[in-house]
Structure 1
């Protein structure tokens, strides 16, 4: 008599596990990048933990809401490329409050893109190879960190890299979490674990934003562009490859609103998942596509639970040597760097403009208090315009 109920519960277990794995892998594989990025633009340890907590709560709520409403496996994530961008831009002249103001502007731009189609079309008009080249330029300095770590801290970094290499071969989704576990062991055996004065539970830390023109130009605009191009567009493409075509407007409105609301607490950006999207949307989640939405909802619940661990994650990162944290972050981003490089040089007609964008974006320059990624994209566009003017008939 209870067999149908048991079958239904068993039927929901597979996508539920897929969603849980996607969230755990997404969190463990990239939280070092997020925390390094937040600290890179001026956040204290407490503020970084608050940002990680806010992101987890925002992602959880949006994933649950979209999964239930659309009945599709719309996995939600933080902007890993956006966090990588924060690693490279440096602390704004007005400090952490200016970074928070930039996060607010980026979230508002995402909402505007959902409400006002010309903005979305303007972002889509940026040549894909140039956007990919800007992302590659942002990722390249971070992905160099494992090489530096192996030379500077061989006793700690070599086991981390070896663990990553082995798991990359035998259990690819767990390669970065495994490297993180190896780093945690290295921290425990080479200096110990630092427990912050406020304890391991994260606490929301509200920051009054400062709207600084240089931070808006150098952080908010590149953050918005890189998140749209490498997360939202890519994530929608992954969903489409599995037969899911959710409407873009509610996704942009919900993720943009969540980004805006979490920004004062340190959240830098929430978007459609790209890297882990296939774990929830693919056939491994469930043979029946109509059941895969459960993965999105379960993944959201898991993110809410993982938010409680934001303080522990922050303490781990704070206890580790910076180069070891950067080593794990670099390993986590190598795949994204490879994809960005391939997309950047795929079109021979745009290759030189893309390389120009990449070189300037990775240079680390700051001009007029605006960081390199903005100038990289501008340089690539100007190079492309100059090529087309020269090619035009007299």
Structure 2
């Protein structure tokens, strides 16, 4: 009996950790690009249902632990981007286009290869620049609302030391208690789950400044690492199938406010590792259970939104920033790992983190463009030497590595 329940319990933990550790990032991102209270709650509900349906379908079809999640880096990108020309309908149009691009990457291998061709340090630097403003929120919260932020940060530190996977949910629980004790008036909002549909519109600036960066961040920071996590546990992810399913789910969930769903990268290990079940052939049950759990947690989207609305915005950002510190550390390390691309990566990081908006296009696009341009412009090429007259040109050493800039 214990063996049968083990993957079910692992799936429940995966869903709870995945939801509690980053739903504040999602709500902050949706509000940043123009969603009102009802639209943000609808977006969270749509993401939960979409991730749940994808996880159940893919898990039952392929019988491997394909954990699905919303794009947490994508939500951080929404926070960094802020309002887009055309408002919330234009943001919804960008979400829908992101889903189409993800599905196309699963249908057209060349598109997936084009995304993979983006230099790793540049992609990681763009992600780091997107995450940085949110990750500084805990520091700002300690200055602005020390009585609320202090216990939250302390809880995170203690749990991060002794029970790391529960650090962010524990910090969120402490924040919820602090909010309940200090809230002066209830927020008038519907606690029951409700869908608020928005007709999408498309503007050039939203397509370039939001849809394309959201697609790239989701692919580079979620889908690619997600396949790597599965490979580390001996599974070969059916990436094409996963991209088609999650892309379709993203497109269908966009009118309800969902920004993007994808392969999980962080929580994937909870369902794919030996803690889910000693038998690798039984771990798919954990991912299916996690999908069901996420769909059920979506029923609490109204409650989650009300909790966020009761708290000071900086406190919500602080919890989100604590959840993203690990992702920021990984992105920075990957960005500066290659010496020849380090300066270009730093340029990408600085431009993205600056949060500039030029021609209606957000900083993530300009950071990617600046870093890639610098990488191409200053790429060093091997110098050609002319042998002295009367001497044969020496053969190239086939073992010597080429210098790549």
Fold in common (TM above 0.5):
yes
Checking the alignment, whether the CA contact within 8 Å between 2:187 and 2:309 is kept in structure 1 is no
Checking the alignment, whether the CA contact within 8 Å between 1:39 and 1:48 is kept in structure 2 is yes
SS where residue 271 of structure 1 aligns? Answer: strand
| Residue-pair matches, total | 384
Q: Tell me the residue number matched to 1:206.
A: 197
Measure the CA separation in 2 of the matches of 1:245 and 1:129. 25
**Aligned pair partner of 1:373 in 364, 369, 393:** 364
Q: Deviations over 1:326-373 (max 9, x none)?
A: 110110100000000011111111111111100001001010100001
Query: Within the alignment, does 1:52 sit opposite 2:29 as a pair?
Result: no
1:196 to partner: Cα distance = 2.7
Measure the CA separation in 2 of the matches of 1:322 and 1:31. 14
Query: Within the alignment, does 1:113 sit opposite 2:113 as a pair?
Result: no
Query: Within the alignment, does 1:350 sit opposite 2:341 as a pair?
Result: yes
SS where residue 266 of structure 2 aligns? Answer: coil
**Aligned pair partner of 1:76 in 68, 83, 88:** 68
1:323 to partner: Cα distance = 0.6
1:12 to partner: Cα distance = 2.3
Checking the alignment, whether the CA contact within 8 Å between 1:193 and 1:316 is kept in structure 2 is no
Residues 32-51 of structure 1 aligned to structure 2 (within 5 Å) = 32-51=24-43
Checking the alignment, whether the CA contact within 8 Å between 1:193 and 1:315 is kept in structure 2 is no
Q: Deviations over 1:366-390 (max 9, x none)?
A: 10100001000000100001012x5
Q: Tell me the residue number matched to 2:378.
A: 387
1:392 to partner: Cα distance = 5.9
1:219 to partner: Cα distance = 0.5
RMSD (Å), alpha carbons: 1.0
Between Structure 1 and Structure 2, which shows a larger proportion of helix residues?
1
Checking the alignment, whether the CA contact within 8 Å between 1:187 and 1:193 is kept in structure 2 is no
Query: Within the alignment, does 1:63 sit opposite 2:61 as a pair?
Result: no
Query: Within the alignment, does 1:364 sit opposite 2:355 as a pair?
Result: yes
Measure the CA separation in 2 of the matches of 1:234 and 1:269. 16
**Aligned pair partner of 1:165 in 133, 136, 157:** 157
Checking the alignment, whether the CA contact within 8 Å between 2:10 and 2:276 is kept in structure 1 is yes
Q: Deviations over 1:302-321 (max 9, x none)?
A: 01110100000000111100
SS where residue 378 of structure 2 aligns? Answer: helix
Measure the CA separation in 2 of the matches of 1:231 and 1:100. 21
Q: Point out 4+ residue stretches in structure 1 off by more than 6 angstroms.
A: none
**Aligned pair partner of 2:167 in 175, 183, 188:** 175
Q: Tell me the residue number matched to 2:129.
A: 137
Measure the CA separation in 1 of the matches of 2:110 and 2:307. 44
Larger Rg: 2
Q: Tell me the residue number matched to 1:258.
A: 249
SS where residue 189 of structure 1 aligns? Answer: helix
Measure the CA separation in 2 of the matches of 1:96 and 1:295. 36
1:154 to partner: Cα distance = 0.5
Measure the CA separation in 2 of the matches of 1:287 and 1:192. 50
Residues 258-337 of structure 1 aligned to structure 2 (within 5 Å) = 258-337=249-328
Measure the CA separation in 2 of the matches of 1:12 and 1:137. 44
SS where residue 346 of structure 1 aligns? Answer: coil
Checking the alignment, whether the CA contact within 8 Å between 2:18 and 2:267 is kept in structure 1 is yes
Q: Tell me the residue number matched to 1:123.
A: 115
Checking the alignment, whether the CA contact within 8 Å between 2:54 and 2:245 is kept in structure 1 is yes
1:152 to partner: Cα distance = 0.6
**Structure 2 unpaired stretches of 5+:** 385-405
Measure the CA separation in 2 of the matches of 1:181 and 1:134. 31
1:192 to partner: Cα distance = 4.3
Distance 1:219 1:127, change over 3 A: same
